[in-house]
Structure 1
């Protein structure tokens, strides 16, 4: 039985995309940019989990993490859209899914500086890849930034819920993200 489960997991992992952030087939414009974060599992999971995780930081501290993410992502996307090409960002995006899943599962106390620096690196990797993918479609970037902020807000709201099922769902999400992130890194 265990061998069958491991074989099934290996098959699923082997069949994933070679990149953490494949193209989503979107054209250009604000609506395409807005839908972009909603159509890629990497972006959707990291945005929601960051909102949940940030909401669970001590009172008055967590709000800075989603704001840092949106700003760093937009700056990195702008940089990529202006003149650079993708490189190490693919690996960092895959790792971000894994890291955010682990942060949802573990109750680890991190210093404020490490939280902000980690979020900035994750955001920059996502923004860089999105910027490369979006080309010079500036309205798409605006839509993507707005959708990212809304996903963080939804995650924040979920993270503030105190019902036991929400806490359990958060742990389940963290575990699924660990598996998904590992599969992206393995691919």
Structure 2
């Protein structure tokens, strides 16, 4: 019982962090940015879902790598250091993560974390580069990182519960395939 209450409290705090960031950030773009494009939304939910498919330590290491390297990408973006093919990298993350889910790729945890870390750099760069000039960088960063972590949780909980029902694994794989198709469309528009 205590574990359930602790997990619920943790999930609630992660959900409320974006609201806190929005309340102090002026226009709230930091927490809102990951929700503003289908590319970010699909990739971040997919990271959580794929981590559950892999299982074990991947459940926290794979999303953790994404968020940590997203922070790094955000710093690079704030400084407007050139990172070529950012939109292609973001779009390809949707394709690759979708395919990983569709084909149930259980990479070693280190390889999966490294892949999501690379994707995190591209997503973070896009967030940092597009930060409004008058925005507080710290609050903006807390906003986009906490929303990202929340989206990872959405994907992880969704995959966890899907795998508990009879056709859930097939539905999860179908969702991955549909996400990958959407990613192909995004790549074609990014090139």
Measured against the shorter chain, the TM-score band is 0.7 to 0.9
Task: Measure how far apart 1:120 and its partner are.
Answer: 0.7
TM-score relative to the length of structure 1 = 0.78
**Aligned twin of 1:44:** 41
Q: Cα gap change, 1:131/1:66 in structure 2, threshold over 3 Å: closer, same or farther?
A: same
Compared with structure 1, are the counterparts of its residues 113 and 60 closer, same or farther at alpha carbon in structure 2 (3 Å cutoff)?
closer
Aligned to 1:186: 188
Q: What is the CA distance between 1:135 and its match in structure 2?
A: 4.7
Hey, what's the Cα distance between the residues in 1 that align with 2:83 and 2:26?
21
SS of the equivalent of 2:106 reads coil
The separation in 2 between residues aligned to 1:87 and 1:133, in whole angstroms, is 15
Where structure 1 has 5 or more consecutive residues not aligned to the other structure, the ranges are 1-27
- Output one character per residue of 1:17-70: Cα deviation in whole Å (capped at 9) or x when no partner: xxxxxxxxxxx6472211211221011111111101101223233211111111
Determine if contact 2:99/2:180 at 8 Å carries over to the other structure.
yes
- How far does the alpha carbon of each residue in 1:71-92 deviate from its partner, in whole angstroms, 9 at most, with x for none? 1001110121024144221111
In the TM superposition, what whole-angstrom CA distance separates every residue of 1:114-147 from its partner, at most 9, and x where no partner exists?
2121011100011111111115531222211110
Which moved further from structure 2: 56-65 or 42-51? 56-65
Aligned ranges 1:1-187 → 2 under 5 Å? 29=26, 31-136=28-133, 137=135, 138=137, 139-161=139-161, 162-187=164-189
Report the aligned-residue RMSD. Answer: 1.8
Shift of 1:154: 1.3
For residues 83-105 of structure 1, the C-alpha deviation after alignment (integer angstroms, 9 at most, x for no partner) is 41442211111100100110110
Alpha carbons 1:85, 1:132 under 8 Å: kept: no
Equivalent residues of 2:51, 2:59 under 8 A apart: yes
- CA drift of 1:113 comes to 2.6
Separation in structure 2 between the aligned mates of residue 128 and residue 118 of structure 1, nearest angstrom: 16
What is the deviation of 1:178? Answer: 1.6
